[in-house]
């Protein structure tokens, strides 16, 4: 059994989707968001001194942090056979989505203590060229055509942007990508569980 430390609608949902897609049994332990982040009354710093989700505890007890490592681990061990070149492309795309979309854009956009000017700068300056690149990448067929960890991670990023920066990702290939994923029963299951957790 895998154990995933998460909070609803965090980037850990990409890991949950990959666990679901691979048919792996897992439990989710909920972390309370914020500076004094706690899980089930236990200090979360004991679990991850960096105080960030996701944390994935493997069935043998090994504890993984950092989503790029977690997603590529699941893909390598439980995903489809890939050539060495395909693995390099998977890592490239997961790292791109992690650093350029989630850390650079979504991090400040959803940080309640970020100044309004920071959020405006992210939406007006950083996001548009990134959306251009993502639209082209999806149109060219790597992300999106080959189901994998970059897809799962990009999907959560686009769903969060639809919520936090409405209209900024309205592009034909990105819209088709999101629609295709929202049709997937695995995606619907993971989203429904996150909504139930929010209550
Ligand atoms: N370097 C970490 C960063 C992960 C991260 O930023 N996680 C956010 C949620 S998506 C978090 O746990 N934030 C703590 C908080 O908001 O209290 C990784 O790539 O896994």
Q: Note the pLDDT tens digit of each residue in 48-60.
A: 999 899 999 999 9
Q: Which of 13, 53, 108, 164 to mutate to test the pocket of ligand 1 (most atoms within 8 A of CB)?
A: 53
Q: Note the pLDDT tens digit of each residue in 19-78.
A: 999 999 999 999 887 765 677 777 888 889 998 999 999 999 999 999 999 999 999 999
- What is the CA(114)–ligand 1 centre distance, in A? 15
> Which pLDDT band, with edges at 50, 70 and 90, does 179 fall under?
very high
3-class secondary structure, 115: coil
Q: How far apart are CA 92 and CA 108, in angstroms?
A: 23
Nearest CA to ligand 1 atom 18: 66
What structural domains does the chain harbor?
Answer: 2-78+186-198 (3.40.30.10), 84-184 (1.20.1050.10)
Q: How far apart are CA 107 and CA 56, in angstroms?
A: 20
pLDDT at 104 (0 to 100): 97
> Which pLDDT band, with edges at 50, 70 and 90, does 143 fall under?
low
* ω into 54 cis (within 30 of 0): yes
Spell out the residues 6+ positions from residue 179 whose beta carbon is closer than 8 angstroms to its own: none
Reported pTM: 0.94
């Amino acid at each position: 059994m895998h154990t995933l430390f998460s909070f609803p609608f965090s980037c850990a949902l990409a890991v949950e989707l990959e666990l679901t897609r691979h048919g792996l049994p897992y439990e989710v332990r909920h972390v309370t968001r914020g500076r004094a982040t706690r899980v089930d009354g236990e200090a979360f710093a004991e679990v991850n001194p960096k105080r960030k989700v996701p944390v994935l505890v493997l069935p043998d007890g090994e504890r993984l942090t950092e989503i790029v490592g977690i997603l590529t681990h699941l893909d390598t061990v439980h995903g489809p056979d890939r050539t060495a070149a395909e693995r390099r492309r998977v890592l490239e795309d997961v790292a791109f989505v992690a650093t350029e979309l989630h850390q650079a854009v979504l991090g400040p956009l959803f940080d309640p203590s970020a100044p309004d000017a920071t959020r405006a700068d992210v939406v007006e300056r950083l996001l548009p060229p990134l959306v251009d690149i993502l639209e082209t990448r999806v149109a060219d067929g790597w992300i999106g055509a080959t189901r994998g960890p970059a897809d799962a991670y990009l999907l959560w990023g686009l769903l969060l942007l639809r919520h936090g920066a409405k209209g900024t990702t309205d592009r034909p290939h990105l819209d088709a990508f999101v629609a295709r994923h929202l049709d997937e029963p695995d995606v619907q299951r993971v989203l429904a569980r996150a909504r139930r957790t929010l209550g």
